[in-house]
Amino acid sequence: MLEGIKVIEMATYIAAPGAGGILADWGAEVIKVEPLAGCPMRYTMANVGADHLKGSPIFDLDNRGKKGVAINTATPEGVEAVKRLVKDADVFLTNVRPGGLERSGLDYASLAAINPRLVYASVTGYGLEGAERDRPGFDIAAFWARSGLGYLETVKGTEPTTLRTGIGDHTTSMATVGGILAALVERQRTGKGRLVESSLIRAGIYAAGSDMAVQLKFGKLGSTKSRHEAVQPISNFFKTKSGEWFVIVPRQGSVDWTAVCKIIGQPELETDPRFANPKGRRANAAELVDILDAAFAEHDLDHWRQKLDEHDVIWSPLMHPKDVVQDPQAIAAGAFVDVPEEDGSGTFKAPASPVRFPGADDGPKGPAPALGQHTLDVLRAAGYGEADLARLRDAKTIG
């Protein structure tokens, strides 16, 4: 879909490269500009003591299908090289902090002067304005903790939990892609590019938007309750005889309360004075959850699967990733793709980008590039001669 769109990505870690990775899957030419030492995510396995494992799947996910260029942008010559690449680009994507970009002359105003059609996408922790615009912000800090989302996900009276790798980053990646594509559509009409700004904190606040809307409207918000304190006791996780957990998500009203009573073989609970209406079920939540726990512990998941489906209840098993990757429905949804190995020896499985375009080539276009793999070819295409390239190599401006 994006064939003919050229993206210059000057970014490390996950959020911005994730956006570039989606664009690459969808057909854009994405040129990844890395420091000479490489993006730190290249070395994830080694950094966690697993250097016996080949490669970095985390890096590969966000960088497959890109061209890799290594440039030292701390030098004037390196900055000039990036500016040359930007001259005919459609998109510049970066997560470098705003102050550093301004000092080096790679901020939006500087690059728009070179290429007025440029869509300039900035991904930061805390946005481009305000006292903390240059504060570094990984997703656990800016997306999870600072946005209020981590607080909302902490059960009252328990300790906070951390966020798994890249969840906030990839949420921000998807938002960034949407912003870039909107700006490209606008450019078709106006002929001019624009600044596109996404941030981890804003993405986190939007991800928690339903609760934030209540907080903003009413100035208060209920805490996250334990299983036995649930506002809707049947909106909960339950454990089966086989030790597996599943979640029930009841619809508004009492239709699913009636169904659950029938499913567990206790229809009399529906009219029990303690549980006959939502207020009573909430007031007696602990007692009701104990009853449901005892009932669901009598049979294994397959038994409850049949019963829950029979009554059209919204539910899902709580699945381990090792089972998710073999889930026939996830596979049917196109959630996994084959990515070529860098050495051409075959392919490996990886998560797909988040949207499918049936009938289109919307998957990986190649492996993640080796550090500096395409530096010379890309700079030659930008007009650098062999003598210039040799000089830049000798000065350690390119790698």
Q: What is the mean pLDDT of residues 101-130?
A: 98
Q: What is the mean pLDDT of residues 36-54?
A: 86
State the Cα–Cα distance between residues 169 and 123, nearest whole angstrom: 10
What residue ranges do the domains of the chain occupy?
A: 6-210+334-395, 227-319
Residue 145 pLDDT exceeds 90: yes
> What would the pLDDT profile of 293-323 be if each residue is shown by its tens digit?
999 999 999 999 999 999 999 999 999 999 9
Nearest alpha-carbon partner for 202 in 104, 107, 313, 124 = 124
State the Cα–Cα distance between residues 248 and 233, nearest whole angstrom: 10
Q: Is the dihedral of CA 16, 17, 19, 20 positive or negative?
A: positive
Q: What is residue 104's predicted lDDT score, i.e. its pLDDT?
A: 96
Q: Is the dihedral of CA 127, 132, 136, 141 positive or negative?
A: negative
Q: What is residue 55's predicted lDDT score, i.e. its pLDDT?
A: 80
Q: What is residue 53's predicted lDDT score, i.e. its pLDDT?
A: 80
State the Cα–Cα distance between residues 269 and 276, nearest whole angstrom: 8
88 catalytic? Reply is no
- Report the percentage of the chain scoring pLDDT > 90: 95
Cβ within 8 Å of residue 373, ≥6 positions away: 67, 68
- Report the percentage of the chain scoring pLDDT > 70: 100
CATH of domain 227-319: 3.30.1540.10
Q: What is residue 379's predicted lDDT score, i.e. its pLDDT?
A: 98
CATH class of 6-210+334-395: alpha beta
DSSP 139: I
> What would the pLDDT profile of 161-188 be if each residue is shown by its tens digit?
999 999 999 999 999 999 999 999 999 9
Q: What is the mean pLDDT of residues 365-386?
A: 97
Q: pTM of this prediction?
A: 0.95
Active-site residue, selected from the candidate residues 60, 62, 90, 169: 169
Q: What is residue 101's predicted lDDT score, i.e. its pLDDT?
A: 97
Q: What is residue 342's predicted lDDT score, i.e. its pLDDT?
A: 87
Q: What is the mean pLDDT of residues 373-380?
A: 98
State the Cα–Cα distance between residues 278 and 207, nearest whole angstrom: 28
Q: What is residue 51's predicted lDDT score, i.e. its pLDDT?
A: 76
State the Cα–Cα distance between residues 345 and 120, nearest whole angstrom: 37
pLDDT band at 47 (very low <50, low <70, confident <90, very high): confident
Q: What is residue 46's predicted lDDT score, i.e. its pLDDT?
A: 80
Residue 130 burial by Cβ neighbours in a 10 Å radius (0-12, 13-18, 19+): exposed
Q: What is residue 125's predicted lDDT score, i.e. its pLDDT?
A: 98
Mean pLDDT (the chain) is 96
pLDDT band at 54 (very low <50, low <70, confident <90, very high): confident
Q: What is the mean pLDDT of residues 215-228?
A: 96
